[in-house]
Amino acid sequence: MNEANALTSTRILARRRLGTSGAAPHVTAPPRRRRRTRGFVQVAGAVAAERLHVSVFGHAYVGVGAVLVGLLFYLAIAAQITQSSYDISRLQDQQRQLIAEQDQLRYQEVTLHAPAQVQQQAAQSGMQRVVPSSYVPGRQVAIDLGAPVGASPADTTPLWLRAVAAILNGAGGTRDVMASTKK
């Protein structure tokens, strides 16, 4: 029965909206609109607003507060960047100064070991430079530059000839024979 009453009441409401009193027994209702569902953020915001009773000005204050917090974060980051740039500039200046000192020390090292400086220090300590009056004459050395590198063999006679000479030397003392064949 409830369903019949619900249908009747909707029909009656539909007739009242249309402005007809009963001329058409089967009047079709206007197409229903789909309800638009609200997102989670909208529902949560509405529930929070109802519980906290935050007015429009409250929302504005929260927005301004969020902007101020963002601005403070921006200023903090900008201050860090500025401090870092000052540190970088200071370190670059210090590096330039150290490079200049290093160049100065290299120059001093080179001038201390220069031949003129060494000669001056030797003169101050009492040393004198003597110009050589004569050179020692060199002797010619008989070296075969075309010979192979390494130890030169003591005896260049073939092995079979040395064996024959050893046998003959042991038998009869013919050492001079072997010396005459070498020529």
Could you give the CA distance from residue 51 to residue 42 in angstroms, rounded to a whole number?
14
Q: Is the pLDDT of residue 99 over 90?
A: yes
Of the ranges 7-21, 38-52, 53-67, 69-83, which one carries the lowest mean pLDDT score?
A: 7-21
- To the nearest whole number, what is the mean pLDDT of the chain? 77
pLDDT reported for residue 181: 56
pTM summary value: 0.35
pLDDT reported for residue 135: 76
Residue 12: band (very low, low, confident or very high) from pLDDT cuts 50, 70, 90: confident
When pLDDT is averaged across residues 125-131 and rounded to a whole number, the result is 82
When pLDDT is averaged across residues 106-119 and rounded to a whole number, the result is 84
When pLDDT is averaged across residues 23-35 and rounded to a whole number, the result is 60
Q: Is the pLDDT of residue 163 over 80?
A: yes
CA distances from 128 to 117, 122, 133, 134, 180 (A): 14, 7, 15, 18, 62
Tokens read off for 8: 């009747």
Contacts of 174 (CB under 8 A, 6+ apart): 165, 168
